[in-house]
Amino acid sequence: MKKFVNNVENILSESLSGFGKAHSDILRVNLSPDFVFRKNKPQNSKVALISGGGSGHEPLHGGFVGTGMLDAACPGQIFSAPTPDQMEAAANEVHNDKGILFIVKNYSGDIMNFEMGSDMIDYEHDTIIVNDDVAVEDSTYTTGRRGVAGTMIVEKTVGSLAETGASLEECKNFGDHVNKMTGSMGVAFTSCTVPAAGKPTFDISSDEMEFGVGIHGEPGRKREKIKSANQLTKEIIESIMDDLKLEKNQEVLLHVNGFGGTPLMELYLLYECGHKLLEEKNIKVSRSIVGNYTTSLEMAGGSFTITKLDENIVKHWDSPVHTAALRWKI
């Protein structure tokens, strides 16, 4: 195992400490229990958005804490769900008189612990379950579809709506809508190594790929010989299109996400393949984002995410955001 490590047991706390210092202008980090929250609490009352999950997927979720997105994020140990006391402490820190909305990826441990955490708070609350992965229905840690790179899109758009003072019910319903309009699927060329394990999560030959892989290295649809980027793209994009029932002239957001070990050059090559294919199918790509946003430690590979756009989704995607990992002004 070749990693920047002092003590395996302290990787998360040291990383969080460094993250907090690097972005001290916009956020704060609390340790024991661990959670990341905005430096400045919004002056106007708003629904407070809290997400979280196992570490190892950075910048998801802590990198999305800030104006226009999350109010707090709860990082668990690597590939392990955060504990209920983290959600309780985060909610007590960021509640702002209009309720708490939890955004949770569809993994059994995450759902169970977020439910327990929500039972420990006295504020009005609700939950959005993100399950955008079209690759498989049930998986190693999941009943139903997995929550993957589409989570960022849900967090960005719902975060924008929450900034307007919308109600908890309005934010919850909008988040469920964005989730339904979003589909993702990925492929891995290598495994990743959880530091505490010290060895790859799974074995894969140098000429093989895991098609439909999960962000924790869960099995996908199949394992097969590596194909060209165009061949991979066609199979993935068409799977997502079938799931979303995309029709001609539909406007979409196209997101190419890296798993941590693939160069940006290759991610933009994938984007070119995806954009070209969608154009051929008369699908209009009107919004785009490319980069490492939902990673799997150092796994080589990537994923496509497509979101069907409507007026409200476009409005809240385009709105200003200022976080460690996403920031723009319109």
Query: Are 29 and 111 in the same domain?
Result: yes
Whether 61 is covered by a domain: the verdict is: yes
Active-site position among 61, 125, 216, 316: 216
pLDDT band at 317 (very low <50, low <70, confident <90, very high): very high
Tokens standing for residue 198: 């010290």
Which stretches within the chain are classed as H helix?
11-22, 84-94, 108-119, 150-163, 168-180, 229-244, 264-280, 311-318
Query: Are 172 and 261 in the same domain?
Result: no
Query: Are 65 and 162 in the same domain?
Result: yes
* Res. 306: pLDDT tops 90: yes
User: For the domain that residue 203 is a member of, what is the CATH number?
Assistant: 3.30.1180.20
Whether 114 is covered by a domain: the verdict is: yes
CA–CA separation, 112 vs 283, rounded Å? 38
Whether 2 is covered by a domain: the verdict is: no
Query: Are 129 and 252 in the same domain?
Result: no
Query: Are 162 and 186 in the same domain?
Result: no
- Cα–Cα nearest to 66, from 319, 314, 258, 330: 319
The pairing of strands 251-258 and 301-308 is antiparallel
pLDDT band at 138 (very low <50, low <70, confident <90, very high): confident
pLDDT value of residue 32: 96
Q: Which amino acid is at 233?
A: T
Tokens standing for residue 80: 């392990």
Q: Phi/psi class of residue 68: alpha, beta or left (left: φ > 0; alpha: ψ in -120 to 50)?
A: left
| pLDDT tens readout for residues 40-99 | 999 899 999 999 999 999 999 999 999 999 999 999 999 999 999 999 999 999 999 999
Active-site position among 57, 61, 95, 125: 57
Whether 138 is covered by a domain: the verdict is: yes
* Res. 136: pLDDT tops 90: no
Query: Are 34 and 93 in the same domain?
Result: yes
| pLDDT tens readout for residues 105-114 | 999 999 999 9
Q: Do 256 and 271 form a contact (C-beta atoms < 8 A)?
A: yes
pLDDT value of residue 218: 86
Whether 330 is covered by a domain: the verdict is: no
The verdict on whether omega for the bond into residue 95 sits within 30 degrees of 0, i.e. cis, is no
Query: Are 130 and 249 in the same domain?
Result: no
Query: Are 22 and 38 in the same domain?
Result: yes
- Cα–Cα nearest to 285, from 293, 273, 294, 295: 273
CA–CA separation, 72 vs 37, rounded Å? 4
pLDDT value of residue 220: 84
Split into its structural domains, the chain has a count of: 2
User: For the domain that residue 63 is a member of, what is the CATH number?
Assistant: 3.40.50.10440
Whether 1 is covered by a domain: the verdict is: no
| pLDDT tens readout for residues 291-302 | 999 999 999 999
Tokens standing for residue 205: 């030959």
Query: Are 158 and 50 in the same domain?
Result: yes
Query: Are 220 and 232 in the same domain?
Result: yes
Q: Do 57 and 43 form a contact (C-beta atoms < 8 A)?
A: no
Query: Are 63 and 158 in the same domain?
Result: yes
Whether 207 is covered by a domain: the verdict is: yes
Strand-pairing partners, residue 181, are none
Mean per-residue pLDDT of the chain: 96
pLDDT value of residue 139: 67
Strand-pairing partners, residue 51, are 73, 103
3-state secondary structure (DSSP) of residue 330: coil
* Res. 176: pLDDT tops 90: yes
Dihedral over Cα of 146, 186, 212, 276: its sign: positive
pLDDT band at 141 (very low <50, low <70, confident <90, very high): low
Question: Which residue segment(s) compose the domain that 212 sits in?
Answer: 182-310
Q: Which of 27-36, 121-130, 213-222 has the lowest mean pLDDT?
A: 213-222
Is residue 57 part of the annotated active site? The answer reads: yes
Is residue 95 part of the annotated active site? The answer reads: no
* Res. 143: pLDDT tops 80: no
Query: Are 141 and 216 in the same domain?
Result: no
Whether 121 is covered by a domain: the verdict is: yes
- Cα–Cα nearest to 175, from 250, 88, 69, 73: 69
